[in-house]
């Protein structure tokens, strides 16, 4: 199924005719983004899709328990006469028996006095099909079964509700029952229970009728109380959600005003003093290095030349001293040889040779002294050049880098301190935030109390029903066992027991595939991909059990708020895949309180792959500029809903809040 077009005429905040093209231009761009600020008409778009398809059976956020006619009357744009009315058109196409069939569902209504007249027309391939129109409530189930519709059309509130895992059980039971066709089993069991009750009532003797009627009235009263309690709980939740939304807005505004910096001011001032002291110590170290031998690194080459000259001077001095020693030795040798009357020619030759050698040594020693360093000073200069200066250079570089780092840190702290607002500038916002926190706390408490009253009312309904059943059984015990009505009751009880076992067993046999699809979806979305490795759904209670890589049970409170929301998305995604139905996915305000990484995972791993067609209804805060740049390659159409507060209506324009990045 592909949604091709949605047309709104005088619906909600939309005045006049507004047309949205929804058909994806190609498989690589399945996403349609409709952006609006809060109150701009996003929820009206989602409700309109539900309403066009299901009419009075649609589960819309705007109806809130009111009658269908009252809901339709409220949907007519307040700026037009009720007699002009409103209309929704939804065009889609499906492939049936290998051929494309184009459908257009037009639902229009107008108010006259206390009545609202609704008209429904269903066109197939451009022609009005009156027979299909008359049985549309049954036929739409072939396209979008109401039992699975909430797996494909949902809002951020539903995700946040499912993120509280205790609330997921009812949704899982309903969705899995619809997927497996067990909703028929439930309806059959309910119908059998009604038959049993009617039969038991007929079997009861006349004397018990009054008692039964009183018990039945108690059941009706208990149900009325339960309904009222549920309505009050829904109202309390709405108040709490609005209070929480206002609290978030004020907290965001306080952050923008720099209240967090104001809270950190003393810490920042302490850090400034610490860094200033460390910087002073670093400067002292650099001065100490500069007062020592470190500056000699600047004349390293010249010092090397000095060392070379000094070493040559030392060598020349050594040669001169050696020549003097050799002269005395040679004189002694020649004198000794002459005293021994050695042949004169031999002594003369030896004397000439020794003289020549002394002359060569004296030539080497003939360097004029310039440096005149001692051997000890020359050795110190050699050590300085070979080792000490390199070590000092490393110490200087490290000290300079440390000083640069301290300087940058100090500059950052100084700049941050400069941004700290005057406490008086945020006092009003802080007071509003405290008031909003108090309001939210009270609303949350009232909501919890209302939920408790709902639970108590449900218990009273169950108790009243049990008392009714007990009275019915007691009243019919006197009836003979072979009575037809008694046999019907007994058979019905056995059938209901069998149906209950069938439901559990059918659920058990199909859960593995559903669990696998959900855990695969969750691991694709989670930042910590191996955080949850196993997911189990109890086939009777529909509670969830999560396990980690070591087999340890993961409690819901061990998951962050963002991780629980991703788990809720994974449940919807896995169940949608398990349905095997190629339906579009429509999500209103999809990102909730997810952090940056989890948002990115939804952008890259879920939205482009959730279905062959995905319609996102978002604010500019949810899909911001960065998220838009990431999502844009997958977007086929984009619209922006602009609400004009002065005119009191919304207009739809092509394009999102941000310009398209270069692809």
Q: Where are the alpha helices (DSSP H) in 340-418?
A: 344-364, 375-383, 389-418
Minimum mean pLDDT among 134-138, 147-151, 515-519: which range? 147-151
Residue 629: CA atoms inside 13 Å, Cβ hemisphere, count?
4
DSSP secondary structure letters along 598-643: HHHHIIIIITTTS-SSEEEEE-TTTS-HHHHHHHGGGEEEEEEEEE
- CA atoms of 413 and 411, how far apart (whole Å): 5
What does the pLDDT read at residue 21? Answer: 93
Of 25-34, 493-502, 522-531, least confident by mean pLDDT is 522-531
Residue 365 has pLDDT above 70, yes or no: no
Closest CA to 79 of 644, 654, 617: 644
How far, in whole angstroms, is CA 306 from its chain's centroid? 70
CA 383 to chain CA mean position, Å:
63
pLDDT value for 519: 84
Helix (H) or strand (E) holding 209: helix 206-257
Angle at 624 between CA 619 and CA 626, to 5 degrees: 160
Provide the token pair at 364: 């080497």
Cβ distance 5 to 22 under 8 Å? yes
Rounded distance, CA 117 to CA 104, Å? 20
- Which is it for strands 544-547 and 99-112: parallel, antiparallel or unpaired? unpaired
Tell me how far CA of residue 88 lies from CA of 23, 32, 108, 320, 632, in angstroms. 17, 19, 6, 117, 28
What average pLDDT does range 508-515 have in this prediction?
A: 81
Q: Which residues are paired to 11 by β-bridges?
A: 76
Cβ proximity of 76 and 86 under 8 Å: yes
260-269, 299-308, 569-578, 621-630: lowest mean pLDDT where? Answer: 260-269
**Torsion, Cα of 599, 600, 604, 608 (10° steps):** 30
Range scoring the smallest mean pLDDT among 198-212, 375-389, 553-567: 198-212
**pLDDT tens-digit readout, 383-402:** 877 788 888 888 888 888 88
- CA–CA separation, 71 vs 63, rounded Å? 6
Q: What is the C-alpha separation between 25 and 28, in angstroms, rounded?
A: 8
Q: Are 655 and 638 in contact (CB under 8 A)?
A: yes
Higher pLDDT among residues 418 and 2, named by residue: 2
Q: What is the mean pLDDT of residues 200-221?
A: 68
Q: Scanning the structure block, which residue is given the tokens 């200066």?
A: 389
Whole-number Cα distances in Å, 203 to 192, 214, 480: 16, 17, 10
* pLDDT score for 109: 92
Write down the residue that tokens 């059938």 correspond to.
495
Distance CA 176, CA 373 (A): 98
pLDDT-based confidence at 211, cuts 50/70/90?
Answer: low
Of 43, 50, 51, nearest to 14 by C-alpha is 43
b vs e for 405-420, b when ≥16 Cβ sit within 10 Å of the residue's Cβ? Answer: ebeebbeebeebeeeb
Judged against a pLDDT cut of 80, whether residue 23 lies above it is answered with yes
Residue-level pLDDT at 396: 85
Q: Largest Cα–Cα distance in the chain?
A: 173
Residue 339 pLDDT:
83
Model confidence at 481, pLDDT cuts 50, 70, 90, reads: very low
Judged against a pLDDT cut of 80, whether residue 10 lies above it is answered with: yes
228-246, pLDDT tens digit by residue?
887 777 677 778 767 777 7
* % the chain with pLDDT above 90: 12
The reported pLDDT for the residue numbered 33 is: 92
- In the prediction, which pLDDT does 89 show? 95
* Rounded Cα–Cα distance for residues 166 and 455 (Å): 14
DSSP secondary structure of 152-191: HEEEHHHHHHHHSGGGHHHHHHHHHHHHTTHHHHHHHHHH
Residues 416, 271: Cα–Cα separation, whole Å: 11
Q: What is the structure's pLDDT at 5?
A: 94
Parallel, antiparallel or unpaired: strands 585-588 and 153-155: parallel
pLDDT of residue 587: 86
How far is 350 from 357, CA to CA, in rounded Å? 11
Q: N- to C-terminal Cα distance for the chain? A: 29
- Average pLDDT of 558-569? 77
- 168 and 160 in contact (C-beta within 8 Å)? no
Considering the chain, what is the average pLDDT of its residues? 79
In this structure, are residues 20 and 655 in contact, taking their beta carbons and an 8 Å threshold? no
For residue 482, is pLDDT > 50?
no
Are 436 and 250 contacting, i.e. CB atoms less than 8 angstroms apart? yes
Distance CA 438, CA 70 (A): 34
Displacement of CA 29 from its chain's centroid (Å): 22
Coil, helix or strand at residue 93: strand
Query: H/E element holding 553?
Result: strand 553-554
| Rounded Cα distance, 4 and 90, in Å | 8
Q: How many residues does the chain have?
A: 663
- With 0-12 / 13-18 / 19 or more C-beta atoms within 10 angstroms meaning exposed / middle / buried, residue 187 is exposed
CA dist 341 and 468 (Å) reads 157
* 18 vs 9: CA distance, rounded Å: 6
Dihedral sign from CA coordinates of 616, 617, 620, 622? negative
C-alpha triplet 284, 285, 290: angle, nearest 5°: 95
Least confident of 262-271, 345-354, 575-584, 625-634: 262-271
Instruction: Report which of residues 326 and 655 the model is more confident about.
Output: 655
Q: For residue 367, what pLDDT is reported?
A: 64
In which region does residue 5 sit, left (phi positive, over 0), alpha (psi from -120 to 50) or beta (all else)? beta
**Which residue, chain included where needed, has tokens 């809270």?**
263
Contact 277, 406 (CB under 8 A): no
pLDDT mean over 447-459: 82
**Cβ partners under 8 Å of residue 272, min gap 6:** 410, 413, 414, 417
Give the integer Cα–Cα distance in Å for 110 and 108: 7
Cβ within 8 Å of residue 620, ≥6 positions away? 35, 37, 657, 658
Rounded to an integer, the average pLDDT of 479-488 is 56
Q: Are 397 and 358 in contact (CB under 8 A)?
A: no
Q: For residues 572 and 171, give the distance between their C-alpha atoms in angstroms, rounded to a whole number.
A: 10
Sheet of strand 585-588, all strands in order from the earlier edge strand to the far edge: 153-155, 585-588, 614-618, 31-36, 635-644, 649-654
């Amino acid at each position: 199924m592909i949604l091709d077009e949605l047309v709104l005429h005088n619906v909600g905040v939309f005045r006049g005719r507004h047309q949205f093209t929804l058909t994806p231009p190609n498989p690589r761009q399945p996403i349609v983004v409709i952006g609006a600020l809060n109150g701009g008409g996003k929820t009206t778009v989602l409700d309109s899709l539900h309403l066009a398809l299901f009419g009075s059976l649609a589960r819309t956020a705007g109806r809130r328990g009111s009658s269908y006619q009252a809901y339709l009357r409220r949907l007519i744009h307040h700026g037009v006469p009720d007699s002009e009315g409103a209309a929704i058109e939804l065009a889609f196409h499906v492939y049936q028996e290998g051929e494309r069939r184009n459908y257009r569902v037009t639902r229009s209504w107008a108010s006259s006095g206390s009545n609202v007249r609704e008209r429904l027309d269903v066109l197939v391939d451009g022609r009005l099909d009156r027979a299909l129109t008359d049985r549309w409530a049954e036929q739409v189930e072939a396209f979008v079964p109401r039992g699975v519709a909430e797996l494909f059309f949902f809002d951020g509130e539903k995700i946040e509700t499912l993120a509280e895992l205790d609330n997921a059980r009812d949704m899982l039971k309903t969705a899995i029952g619809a997927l497996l066709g067990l909703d028929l089993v439930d309806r059959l069991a309910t119908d059998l229970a009604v038959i049993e009750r009617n039969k038991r009532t007929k079997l009861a003797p006349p004397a018990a009728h009054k008692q039964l009627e009183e018990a039945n009235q108690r059941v009706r009263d208990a149900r009325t109380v339960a309904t009222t309690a549920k309505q009050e709980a829904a109202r309390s939740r709405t108040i709490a959600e609005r209070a929480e939304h206002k609290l978030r807005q004020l907290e965001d505004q306080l952050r923008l005003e720099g209240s967090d910096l104001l809270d950190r001011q003393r810490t920042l001032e302490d850090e400034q003093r610490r860094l200033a002291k460390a910087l002073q110590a670093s400067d002292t170290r650099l001065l100490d290095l500069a007062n020592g031998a470190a500056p000699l690194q600047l004349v390293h080459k010249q010092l090397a030349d000095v060392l070379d000259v000094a070493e040559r001077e030392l060598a020349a001095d050594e040669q001169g001293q050696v020549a003097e020693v050799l002269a005395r030795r040679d004189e002694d040798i020649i004198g000794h040889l002459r005293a021994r009357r050695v042949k004169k020619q031999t002594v003369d030759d030896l004397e000439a040779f020794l003289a020549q050698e002394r002359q060569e040594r004296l030539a080497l020693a003939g360097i004029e002294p310039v440096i005149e360093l001692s051997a000890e000073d020359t050795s110190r200069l050699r050590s300085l050049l070979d080792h000490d200066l390199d070590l000092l250079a490393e110490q200087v570089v490290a000290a300079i880098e440390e000083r640069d780092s301290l300087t940058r840190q100090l500059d950052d702290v100084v700049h941050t301190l400069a941004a700290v607002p005057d406490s008086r500038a945020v006092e009003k916002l802080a007071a509003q935030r405290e008031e909003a926190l108090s309001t939210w706390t009270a609303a949350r408490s009232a909501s919890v109390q209302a939920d408790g009253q709902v639970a108590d009312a449900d218990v009273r309904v169950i108790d009243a029903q049990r008392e009714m059943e007990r009275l019915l059984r007691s009243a019919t015990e006197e009836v003979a066992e072979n009575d037809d009505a008694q046999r019907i009751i007994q058979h019905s009880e056995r059938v209901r027991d069998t149906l209950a076992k069938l439901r559990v067993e059918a659920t058990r046999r199909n859960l593995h595939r559903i669990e696998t699809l959900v855990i695969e979806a969750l691991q694709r979305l989670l930042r910590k991909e191996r955080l949850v490795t196993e997911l189990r759904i109890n086939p009777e209670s529909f509670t969830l059990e999560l396990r980690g890589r070591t087999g340890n049970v993961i409690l819901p409170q061990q998951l962050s708020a963002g991780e629980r929301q991703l788990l809720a998305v994974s449940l919807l995604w896995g169940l949608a895949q398990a349905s095997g139905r190629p339906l579009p996915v429509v999500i209103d305000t999809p990102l909730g309180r997810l952090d940056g990484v989890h948002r990115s995972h939804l952008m890259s791993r879920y939205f482009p792959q959730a279905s062959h067609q995905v319609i996102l209804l978002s604010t500019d805060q949810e899909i911001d500029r960065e998220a838009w740049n990431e999502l844009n390659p997958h977007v086929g159409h984009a619209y922006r809903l602009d609400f004009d507060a002065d005119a009191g209506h919304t207009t739809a324009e092509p394009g999102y809040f941000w310009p398209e990045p270069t692809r």
